């Protein structure tokens, strides 16, 4: 995450012992959408068949 923060792609905040990261709101809109889509695609999905 340090490299993403140094590149200006993410911002962080401390929440007790946790560090929370999110995409930087200062990103150009096209870059924000591209990264958000990539993160959404890689997010784990739940399998309804496993229920």
d(Cα 41, Cα 51) in Å, to the nearest integer?
22
48 assigned to some structural domain: no
Other C-beta atoms lying within 10 Å of the C-beta of residue 23: 16
Expressed as residue numbers, the domain containing 19 is 2-39
44 assigned to some structural domain: no
Quote the number of domains for the chain: 1
Q: pTM of this prediction?
A: 0.65
CB 24 within 8 A of CB 10: yes
13 assigned to some structural domain: yes
Per-residue pLDDT of the chain (51 residues; tens, 9 = 90+): 789 899 999 999 999 999 999 999 999 999 999 998 988 876 655 555 544
47 assigned to some structural domain: no
């Amino acid at each position: 995450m340090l490299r993403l923060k140094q590149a200006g792609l993410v911002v962080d905040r401390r929440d007790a012992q946790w560090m929370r990261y999110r995409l930087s709101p200062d990103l150009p809109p096209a870059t924000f959408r591209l990264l958000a889509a990539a993160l959404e695609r890689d997010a784990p999905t739940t399998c309804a068949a496993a229920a």
